[in-house]
Amino acid sequence: MKLLDRYLTDQLDVLRTTGVYRRLRVLQGPQGGRARVDGRDVINLSSNNYLGLATHPRVVAAAEQAARLYGAGSGAVRSIIGTFDIQEQLEYKLAKFKGTEAALVFQSGFTANQAVLGSILVEGDLIVSDVLNHASIIDGIRLTKATRAVYAHNDMDDLERALSRAKGKYRKVVVVTDGVFSMDGDIAPVDRIAELAAEYGAATIVDDAHATGVLGVNGRGTVSHFKLPSEGWDITVGTLSKAVGVMGGFVAGSQKLREVMEHRARPFLFSTAHPPAVTAAVDAAIDIISSREGAALIDRLWENTHYFRRGLQSLGFDTGVSETPITPVIVGDEARAMRFSEELFENGVLATGITYPTVPRGKARVRTIVTAEHTEQDLQEALDIFQRVGRMCGVILEPELASSVPA
């Protein structure tokens, strides 16, 4: 016990001395474009609730009704108790949404990656992974006996080198990438990845956590964004926790893949399924995303994205390589990024500071995410606060320094 306590004390000391220690903020109500957090009303630029569906009346009503009809919990894992009819209906709907034969829902996007990677990768396989892939992909790979290769971020020459080195050496080869990279907001070139994979006989997986409901026709994701035919891509992982606004993950692909996961995926076999309220709420959210209302929300999301990013850039902030509603404001120094985030909050904007190990050392940032719910007034007010606080924290220059006009 003493040794453990010493270890914990040391860990916390390191966090504090490097300036990255934080405590969790407390949300005191629903989250929208604005939210009440730690007793303060702030403009919310920290949520993945891209379309505002977390609080959509039809989504909430579906959850309430399902709880009344089916109860609060699911009782056991699906391989033992069976599967709710509404769960099957949702999976059918998700497969249609993605244009695949089948889909299977998991407790989270995190477990969906574990499920699919663990079901298909065995000893003698090679998994080729983008260096910036999400932690849940990295962990999912670690739990398998496949050989790993990592390629430089979105670098198709490097991917091709890895594939060509692997030729004839493995039972099968799988390429995995995030669709939208969650810390930089850039998009994986899945059109090019699909070509390379076809050329070298590799299978493809994209994790569309930040792309589902955001990119492509009706928010169908990265494969749709690049206008690839759905047969041109093997497997899509998605989350139901971000734009879909509720909780969960899914894997969309062939019927055979679904059946193998039903028998092999450990999160499926050893962890209880979502409660009915979650299933029904997700179902209602997918209906909304696929409707005219959803299309309008996605349009609004992109208008807000462009407005806000242009605003940050014209103030002199470094927004990196973002192409999506995720816009990082790169600060560099870890402690300065945390202080910047803290001061933004004190001045009315919730935008989280992100440091190592979530992003590389020296690339600390404040990450912003706009949603369809922000009004132009919200975003203009946020930009004004970014300008004021950015100057105060030395993230952008004071006007007299920035100006080339002599005084």
Q: Where do contacts with ligand PLP occur on this chain (CB under 6 A)?
A: 108-110, 134, 136, 178, 182, 207, 209-210, 239, 241, 249
Helix-, strand-, coil-residue percentages of the chain, each rounded to 5: 45, 15, 35
Q: At closest approach, how far in Å is the CB of 79 from ligand PLP?
A: 21
Distance CA 249, CA 242 (A): 10
Is 210 known to be catalytic?
yes
Q: Which residue lies nearer to ligand PLP by CB, 355 or 387?
A: 355
Q: Residues 283, 56: contact at Cβ < 8 Å?
A: no
Q: How far is CA 208 from the centre of its chain?
A: 7
Q: Which residue lies nearer to ligand PLP by CB, 214 or 393?
A: 214
Distance CA 31, CA 51 (A): 12
Q: Residues 292, 295, 299, 300: is their CA dihedral positive or negative?
A: positive
Q: Which residue lies nearer to ligand PLP by CB, 63 or 395?
A: 63
Q: At closest approach, how far in Å is the CB of 248 from ligand PLP?
A: 6
Q: Which residue lies nearer to ligand PLP by CB, 211 or 280?
A: 211
Is 93 known to be catalytic?
no
342, two tokens: 């803290």
Supply φ then ψ for residue 34, to 5 degrees: -120, 155
Catalytic option among 98, 210, 274, 374? 210
Catalytic option among 242, 274, 363, 374? 242
Q: At closest approach, how far in Å is the CB of 247 from ligand PLP?
A: 7
Q: At closest approach, how far in Å is the CB of 234 from ligand PLP?
A: 17
Angle at 298 between CA 296 and CA 300, to 5 degrees: 70
Q: At closest approach, how far in Å is the CB of 278 from ligand PLP?
A: 11
Q: Which residue is nearest to ligand PLP (CB)?
A: 109
Q: Which residue lies nearer to ligand PLP by CB, 118 or 311?
A: 118
Q: At closest approach, how far in Å is the CB of 241 from ligand PLP?
A: 4
Catalytic option among 182, 224, 241, 322? 182
217, two tokens: 């026709």
Q: Which residue lies nearer to ligand PLP by CB, 108 or 224?
A: 108
Helix ranges, 50-201 (H): 57-70, 78-81, 85-98, 109-120, 135-142, 156-166, 190-200
b vs e for 126-164, b when ≥16 Cβ sit within 10 Å of the residue's Cβ?
bbbbbebbbebbbebbeebebbebbbebbeeebbbebbe
Residues with Cβ within 8 Å of residue 175, at least 6 apart in sequence: 128, 129, 159, 163, 193, 196, 197, 202, 203, 204, 205
Q: Residues 294, 218: contact at Cβ < 8 Å?
A: yes
Would you please indicate which residues are annotated as catalytic (active-site) residues? 182, 210, 242
